[in-house]
Structure 1
Amino acid sequence: MVTNAQATARVDAAPAAPDEAEPPAPEAEPRDTPDPSGGARVDASPSRRRSRGPFLVLLITVLLASVPFGAVLQWTWSLVGVIIAVLILVWSVQVIRGRRRVAVSAAAIWWAILPFSAAILWAAVQSWPEVAPAWSHPIWRLAAEALGQPLPGAVAVNPDAAMVGVTRLLIYAGVFWLALQYGRSRDNAKLAVRVTAYVLAVFAFYGLAAVVLGSGSTFTYDNPSGAGTVTSTFINRNSYATFAGLGLLCAVAVFMIELDRKNESGRDERERREILVEWLLGRGGVLLLVIALIFGSVLLTQSRGGLLSTVAAVGTLVLMLRRRESESRWRRATVLAPAAAATLLVPFLFLGGGGTSERLKDISAEDSRLRIFATTVDAIADRPWLGTGLGTYEQVIRLYDPEGELVGLKRAHNSYLENAVELGIPAAACLVTSVAALGILCFAGFRRRRRDRYIPAIAVAAVLQLGLHSLVDFSLQIPGVAFLFFLLLGVGCAQSWNYGDARR
């Protein structure tokens, strides 16, 4: 583990920006602050002007990427990859030319980068031809015998698919790295959270409108989940439920922080009550509507895993952000806000709450999912260390289904098992460990910080949400969901250090 002094010595020690009520301070020239441990130097005053433009491009790219079917089409995530590569190039040139500092160095999170890099390296090795004949998948020998000619074997059943998987993981890593660097600015981090909440409310409105109008379609494609099910711009309702859940975390966090501020304003109890009511009738009411829209859309996806994981994540976030003081005015406010939100949710319950309730009671679908899990475990047992190649699950699982009961199966509906099949247990464990380690960093940052601690708290809740949903589905393997998740995780990690740490 890295000590506080070692980690924070490598982190950009940007001073906290003034409160919104104060006039903005004049922008200072970038300067170096000596590392208290005598090691690397940290930039104590990064230029917000130089970071806002690229960060806006990153934010817009990530949010709009999900418009065409959750970015599952190759041209969509490939275009995002090109934009991310250009942004990293711009950032690198700025660093090399001394126009900006490295906000958070790789050394500060080496314990997360190391296992992720190991998983990426192994996934690339799987696609190399004849890297080690003894490691090649048996299917290459069978194919050579059937064709009557030698074939260059590989660990991966499909080397091309493995390299596509590697490319996508590198794009996700690029999104995280850019969010980590630009998200060190408080202004950028707060902007990311607020914009995500409002934009995902638009996604929710589109999905709900499609259901109300009776089309239920995603653009020109019919909704495979049924006309009464919300999928918004996604094809799969479970994936949209996870995507919307991330937006709900942002909306709930912003609402709670603003509610807290209004609850502390005013000279006396009467004035505080008036300010609170006025806020709820204005900006607070808009935030409640955003929360109701997003949660209503999650409810009407009729996704059991998506709904339960979202509720668990939101509940965790609320518990983390609750004020520790048991003031009577805070208790009254926390009763008033949920009551208003529940009132706004009533129309969604009439619209399709019954379908969600029936889905939660129905366990017949679990039999087929358990059969998928059992077959997947058999595939893992055959190659527990080497795997079959990233992105090859659909092809490999057919070898373990001679009776054709799983025809058309593309995913294991459990990302942990699917990764173990494709990467092997060690590399899959490295991949999970890297994300879990970043989640722990954000939790430590939440405990350490006093200002804007809701930002790392959102990242912690997002890790919990995706971690739970990955037990029964594959939402994190959908590019649109992964882009937003790693953006929020990067911003949360960036805000896990404070200025005081760097100076001590």
Structure 2
Amino acid sequence: MNRLVLLLLMLVVVLSPLPLGSNREWSWTLCALLVSLITLLWVVTRSWRGGEVQRVMHPAIPLLFLAACAWVVVQAAVWAPQSWGHPLWGQAAAVLGIELPGLVSLSAEDSWTALLRLLSYALVFFLAFQLGRERSRAHAMMLWLATAGVVYALFGLVVFWSGESPEWLFRGEVLLPDLRSTFINRNHFATWQGLTLLCAIVLLYMRIAKSRTRPYA
């Protein structure tokens, strides 16, 4: 069952850049939903088979993550102290002549969206952390990412050199002639490629290193 969970997780990860780098509400919401379902599947299989959950993690990591999530909630909550509210809420209320909630965040909806995305990223990390305990699965994950990096890089180069943005992907979006592959933001594409390049470097090192010198053997 771990193989199925790994396959589903890798499919979500490597396909998420395809719809404009999951830069639209429908795509990142779909990614969050799929990751949640995959995590639920993993939890059910762990409970059914009685597998051990890896707990080797510094306690500060989950505590700091929960603190960040709690701060997002406070920023978007109407029950936060009014003295913490952004001053623009008071200025807007004075100009409009109506009472407005003095939230810390200027856009509570965007804060909740950011929290949703942050939690989905955390679930991806959690699943990778658990599945990567076995060396073969960790190797498979890096291979998936390195291969995806090559595919997206080749696609980006073809589109860049052709000078035409594929209509089926960008649908009339006005974009600068930059190397962006399937991403709206070229910086996001660069970040993605940097991460996949790290995986490729690790695989190359493991390939050329002798067995007796491998630190993770």
When normalised by structure 2's length, the TM-score is: 0.89
1: CA distance, partners of 2:174 / 2:150: 20
Corresponding letter in the other structure for 2:190: A
**Residue identity opposite 1:155 in structure 2:** V
Task: Verify the 8 A CA contact 1:130 1:153 in the aligned structure 2.
Answer: no
Query: Aligned partners of 2:185 and 2:74: how far apart in 1?
Result: 32
Distance 2:30 2:48 in 1: 27
CA deviation after TM superposition for structure 1 residue 260, in Å: 2.5
Counterpart selection for 2:30 from 74, 79, 91: 79
Answering whether residue 201 of structure 2 is matched by residue 252 of structure 1, we say yes
Shift of 1:123: 0.9
Matched, 1:211 2:160: yes
The aligned counterpart of 2:71 is: 122
- State the Cα deviation string for residues 199-241 of structure 1 (Å, max 9, x = none): 2111111111112333255734467231xx3211112222212
Q: CA deviation at 1:182?
A: 1.2
Give a deviation string over 1:357-407, Cα, whole Å, max 9, x none: xxxxxxxxxxxxxxxxxxxxxxxxxxxxxxxxxxxxxxxxxxxxxxxxxxx
* Structure 2 equivalent of residue 450 of structure 1: 215
Conservation of the 8 A alpha-carbon contact between 1:223 and 1:231: no
Give, in whole Å, the separation in 1 of the partners of 2:97 and 2:216: 68
Q: Residue 161 in 1 paired to residue 103 in 2?
A: no
- CA distance in structure 2 between the aligned counterparts of 1:235 and 1:150, rounded to whole angstroms: 38
Code of the residue aligned with 1:70 in structure 2: it is G
Q: Which residue of 2 aligns with 1:144?
A: 93
Q: Tell me the residue number matched to 1:225.
A: 176
Correspondence 1:32-431 to 2 at 5 A: 50-102=1-53, 104-105=54-55, 108-216=57-165, 219-220=169-170, 221=172, 224-226=175-177, 229-261=178-210
Partners in 2 of 1:157 and 1:223 — Cα distance? 28
**Which range is displaced more, 205-214 or 72-81?**
205-214
Q: Distance in 2 between matches of 1:150 and 1:167?
A: 29
Q: Distance in 2 between matches of 1:223 and 1:256?
A: 41
Distance 1:148 1:222 in 2: 39
CA 181–136 in structure 1, closer or farther in 2 if over 3 Å, else same: same
Query: In the alignment, residue 81 of structure 1 is paired with which amino acid?
Result: A
Identity rate of aligned residues, in percent? 32
Who wins on radius of gyration, i.e. which is larger? 1
SS in 1 for 2:209: helix
- Return 5+ residue gaps in structure 1 as ranges: 1-49, 265-322, 324-448, 453-504
Runs ≥4 residues deviating over 6 A: none
Q: Given that residues 216 and 230 in structure 1 are in contact (C-alpha distance below 8 angstroms), is that contact kept between their aligned partners in structure 2?
A: no
Contact 1:197 1:248 in 2 (8 A): yes
Following the alignment from structure 2 to structure 1, what is the Cα–Cα distance between the partners of residues 40 and 129? 15
| In 2: Cα distance, 1:157 partner to 1:214 partner | 39
Alpha-carbon distance in 2 for matches of 1:142, 1:130: 20
Structure 2 contact 14–144 (Cα < 8 Å) conserved: no
The 8 Å contact of residues 225 and 236 in structure 1, kept in 2 or not, is answered as no
What is the alpha-carbon distance in structure 2 between the residues aligned to residue 212 and residue 137 of structure 1? 46
Aligned counterparts, 1:475-486, within 5 A? none
Distance 1:66 1:116 in 2: 25
Q: Deviations over 1:391-447 (max 9, x none)?
A: xxxxxxxxxxxxxxxxxxxxxxxxxxxxxxxxxxxxxxxxxxxxxxxxxxxxxxxxx
Given that 1:140 and 1:151 are in contact with CA atoms closer than 8 Å, whether structure 2 keeps it comes out as yes
Question: CA 1:214–1:142 in structure 2 vs 1: closer, same or farther (change >3 Å)?
Answer: closer
Q: Report the alpha carbon displacement of residue 145 of structure 1 after superposing the two structures with TM.
A: 2.1
Partner AA of 1:246 in structure 2? L
**Normalising by structure 1, what TM-score?**
0.40
Give unpaired runs (5+ residues) of structure 2. Answer: none
- For 1:92, the aligned partner's letter is V
Query: Any idea what the Cα deviations from partners look like across 1:436-479, whole Å, max 9, x if unmatched?
Result: xxxxxxxxxxxxx8325xxxxxxxxxxxxxxxxxxxxxxxxxxx
Measured at CA, do residues 146 and 223 of structure 1 come closer, stay the same or move farther in structure 2, by a change above 3 Å?
Answer: closer
| Matched AA of 2:77 | W
Aligned length: 215
